[in-house]
Chains A and B, each alone.
Chain A
Amino acid sequence: MNRINQKLQEDKKLLSIYFTAGYPNLNDTVTVIENLEKSGVDMIEIGLPFSDPLADGPTIQASSTASLDNGMTSEVLFNQLKDIRKTVSIPLIIMGYFNPMMQYGVEAFCKKCAEIGIDGLIIPDLPVQDYNENYKAIFEKYGLINVFLITPQTSEERIRFIDSISNGFIYMVSSASVTGAQNSFGSTQSDYFNRIAAMNLKAPQIVGFGISNAETFQQATVSAKGAIIGSAFVKHLTEHGVDKIDKFISLIK
């Protein structure tokens, strides 16, 4: 069974952390992953940087630019991760935009992910329909889970469709915003969380965007299976480097 599905069966709320690979320094990638696992994180999203990250706010944009300036590429990332399964056992997901994957070759990219032990991909700008028609077979061949996003504006019909083709979890975007834009959740979010919970979807939901501390993590996971912290953690890396990761995590869980 895919590590993601195993993890989703555990009887607990899951904390997933996003960080930009190759940031703050090019060779920090593996250290960040290992420290996150040691700190008790349940799942990690490794951000493959892109020059034009449409769905990201200033924090992740800046880290992406810095990582690219450091020399990060798909090839460099795969080399950094080639022995990662010798030391890390939690689910690892690569999150990135479609163009770099397309240039690498979607099949070659998936093959490489499978060899390394990557469990899934999140590609925000790959349309659901396009994935379903052109890439689903490739992902399945390499045992990769593709994670789709839903937002407060996604129609019920579309959520049902996305649920029907999800084989891992659904990435539930907390609010109409790019990453890192919110500081707290109000009644709009709790209404939305309740509405989705009431739909009894087959795929568990993990909430992302706007989770930055214990309070927002708790609010987000009242009914959802888990939550993802991205920008707040990237900010922590900017300020403290790779050293105090355990401290950051201990304040959330």
Chain B
Amino acid sequence: MSYFVDENGYYGQFGGAYIPEMLYPNVEELRQNYLKIMQEDSFKKEFDELLKEYVGRPTPLYFAKRLSDKYNTKIYLKREDLCHTGAHKVNNTIGQILMAKRLGKHRIIAETGAGQHGVATATVCALMGIECIVYMGEIDIARQEPNVARMKMLGATVVPALSGSRTLKDATNEAIRDWINNPVDTHYIIGSVVGPHPYPDMVARFQSVISEEMKWQLKEKEGKENPDYVIACVGGGSNAAGAFYHYLDEKEVGLIAVEAAGLGVDSGESAATSVLGNEGVIHGSKTLLMQTKDGQITEPYSISAGLDYPGVGPLHAHLCESKRADFISVTDDEAMNAGLELCELEGIIPAIESSHALAVFKKKAFKKDDIVVLNLSGRGDKDLDTYIKYFKF
């Protein structure tokens, strides 16, 4: 079984491009060109240089000694939190802005939930001097003020999504509608491994630098490229796709995907798509998603704005159905405590998304000589308010 996308844009039964005809020319143009462009020497050179000089790659693979002692196993943290803009998101936006330039597009649109992808998109647009419009749910705008200010400082226009539940899924709908209205000059930078083919594959390839680095870094430190486990959190799933990518076909590497259970999987306030979702179509992709019996998409909940998406990317749906990856759900409380523990043990304040991945150590026992790599997808600066409110500092 292959875990990579097939020629029709599917991962097993998931994926495809369920888009209105109005989007067909745009998506088809991208589909026909993305691999060709990514393989050009000039593209690779520019992409690699920007990742090195601008983003600050390679990010360290840090051996977390005190955390390892506590859980009696060998834990490495892949420090994506040290990327410019504070999370892995920028790996993808750098790739896509270079793609957009080569496709001759001079207007960029993006969706954002917590604002991390919006900031990463506004950043690369400033870098390239390209117009940037970010759609963000009205409710998210109110609760993520610092990121809204960041995007504005970076020259982006932030447009409130006023439809539906006024959060991430509606921001995505608005971005897609913008693309329908502006089919010629605009490129849509999707922030995760979601959306119609070829987006899930393209975004996974841009993020795959994470596991590419893990391999040689682990070889240096442990004398072998493969860990026993890779752990990553999954909302749409872009950091997990990047961390898993070069290990997908390495069967001896266990993949652990961590979803947000919110107040509890059965509480009605959750984002644990692998448990609560079933096959359906969202944002142009056939995947697992949370919906009513009648096929209306439901609003997920998590304390982490980066994980409350009602679906997962089609790659992850396939990893879940085929049991290639273990899906574990972590509640708000478990995540918040695991985040605080990392602060205390290692002096690193993680994004609440990444805190979900950290909570796995309380839920699953690893062997003493297991090598476990955890993708620390982002830093916690953006979440200080939430941490403060939660712990009443």
Interface residues of A (CB under 8 A from B): 50-58, 61-62, 65, 68, 73-75, 97-104, 124-128, 130, 148-151, 153-155, 158, 173, 176-178, 181
Contact = CB atoms under 8 A, between A and B. Distances in A.
18 contacts: A51-B296, A52-B164, A52-B283, A54-B173, A55-B177, A68-B296, A73-B294, A74-B294, A99-B291, A100-B295, A103-B280, A103-B293, A103-B295, A128-B21, A151-B22, A154-B24, A155-B25, A158-B24
Contact of B164 (A51, A101, A173, A176): A51
Given A52-B169, A98-B281, A125-B19, A181 B181 contact: yes
Nearest to B181: A177
Closest 7 CB pairs of A and B: A103-B295, A100-B295, A149-B21, A51-B296, A124-B20, A73-B294, A153-B25
Contact of B163 (A61, A73, A125, A127): A61
B297 A125 contact: no
B155 interface: no
Contacts of A100: 294-296
B294 A103 contact: yes
Q: Which of B25, B163, B184, B297 has the most CB of A within 10 A?
A: B163
Nearest to A76: B294
A238 to B, nearest CB: 16
B33 interface: no
A176 B163 contact: no
B295 A101 contact: yes
Interface string B279-302: 111111000000101111110000
A102 B281 contact: yes
Contacts of A74: 294-295
A173 B23 CA distance: 12
Contact of A127 (B16, B169, B176, B297): B16
Contacts of A177: 22, 180-181
A178 to B, nearest CB: 5
Given A52-B173, A177-B181, A149 B20 contact: yes
Interface string B70-93: 000000000000000000000000
A148 B170 CA distance: 26
B18 interface: yes
A52 B19 contact: no
B21 to A, nearest CB: 4
A127 B294 contact: no
Contacts of A58: 162-163
A52 B164 CA distance: 7
B22 A149 contact: yes
B21 A173 contact: yes
Contacts of B280: 99, 102-103
Contacts of A151: 21-22, 24-25, 183
Contacts of B322: none
Contacts of A56: 177
A126 B296 CA distance: 16
Nearest to B178: A178
A101 B281 CA distance: 10
Interface in B144-190: 162-164, 169-170, 173, 176-177, 180-184
Given A102-B280, A176-B180, A55 B20 contact: yes
Contacts of B22: 55, 149, 151, 153, 173, 176-178
A42 to B, nearest CB: 23
Contacts of A149: 20-22
A26 to B, nearest CB: 14
Contact of A126 (B18, B24, B177, B279): B18
Contact of A99 (B20, B163, B176, B282): B282
B17 interface: yes
Contact of A148 (B21, B163, B164): B21
A124 B177 CA distance: 13
Contacts of A155: 25
Contacts of B170: 52
B203 to A, nearest CB: 19
Interface string B290-332: 0101111110000000000000000000000000000000000
A140 B298 CA distance: 33
A155 B183 CA distance: 13
Given A125-B19, A148-B21, A55 B180 contact: yes
Q: Which of A58, A98, A128, A151 has the most CB of B within 10 A?
A: A151
Contacts of B281: 97-99, 102, 125
Q: Which of A50, A54, A56, A177 has the most CB of B within 10 A?
A: A54
Contacts of B24: 151, 153-154, 158
Contact of A176 (B182, B284, B294, B295): B182
Q: Which of A75, A100, A130, A155 has the most CB of B within 10 A?
A: A100
B20 A125 contact: yes
Given A52-B283, A56-B177, A127-B16, 15 more contacts: A51-B164, A51-B298, A52-B170, A52-B173, A53-B173, A54-B176, A62-B163, A97-B281, A99-B295, A102-B295, A103-B280, A103-B295, A104-B295, A128-B21, A173-B21
Interface in B1-59: 16-22, 24-25
A166 B82 CA distance: 54
A102 to B, nearest CB: 6
Contacts of B284: 54, 125
Contacts of B169: 52
A127 B18 contact: yes
